[in-house]
Chains A and B, each alone.
Chain A
């Protein structure tokens, strides 16, 4: 069994959206910081990563986390997960081929948990050698988060997540 905790991201607590991430016990980095550092260090991913950050900030400051910006994982339907369900943000490169994918959980127009991701190189994320592991991890984390919502260890207001002091994600 693995454990993780929900983390607030300072720097992404914005006018319209508060972004969070998850830190898996034993890992050096929380999931979103791991994604950010990997993408930023790779020249092939850097431009799209920079655009992703512009996007996250614009959504966070100006528009709110509207449904239109987040794409539904078909697998979430198949698993019949309750809301909030796993979604993703895609940043397409200039040539409109596959781009960067970041998995996330959108609670509302004001609260989003950012997970991890990578460059998608296949039509289905599950078939992509880069994204598949992050997709599976995001699925497991989503189920764990839904579980703590159900047992009341995690609640959310209009703008914030609040956790019980003993709240731990088990996955």
Chain B
């Protein structure tokens, strides 16, 4: 009669925490982004019902090379990602479009203002501004945003 139990354990928590503390931020970012990019690629492949071998064929690469590319630790160059995006017809990396939001914070404590344009009351056409939820929370301000 078998009696099952969990295996005995060793504690590597402290050691691993020390390693993490010493790990350069760029290494953390590299691995996190590599895994995220690979995940996106696989999601696209799944959506398009493409197997890895089809993907390799489209890229003119061997399955072994693609397996290496998509292992999550390979240093994919921007050129390689561009080729991938071209054959898949979809973005793998999106560059966020930063738009300058003009808003004014009205309130008594101006020290909290990060972006300030003169109060719309000082301009003609206050109707060009609309009140929005205060991005800084309820700290005695009224926030306005230029109406699009």
Contacts and interface: CB of A to CB of B under 8 A. Distances in A.
Interface residues of A, number: 48
Contacts of B38: 68
B137 interface: no
Contacts of B71: 68-69, 71, 89-90
Contacts of A58: 31-32, 35
Contacts of A51: 23, 27, 30-31, 73
B51 interface: no
A105 B5 CA distance: 20
A80 B70 CA distance: 25
A164 B6 CA distance: 9
A152 B15 CA distance: 34
A5 B5 CA distance: 13
Contacts, number: 122
Nearest to A70: B71
A8 interface: yes
B128 interface: no
Contacts of A54: 20, 23, 27-28, 31-32
B10 A33 contact: yes
A26 B17 CA distance: 27
A165 B12 CA distance: 23
Nearest to B67: A71
Given A50-B24, A55-B35, A162 B5 contact: yes
A164 B30 CA distance: 41
A122 interface: no
B7 A20 contact: yes
B35 A10 contact: no
A32 B6 CA distance: 18
22 contacts: A7-B10, A8-B7, A20-B7, A21-B10, A33-B12, A40-B19, A51-B31, A53-B20, A55-B35, A55-B73, A58-B31, A68-B42, A68-B70, A68-B71, A69-B71, A89-B71, A152-B2, A155-B4, A161-B7, A162-B5, A162-B6, A164-B3
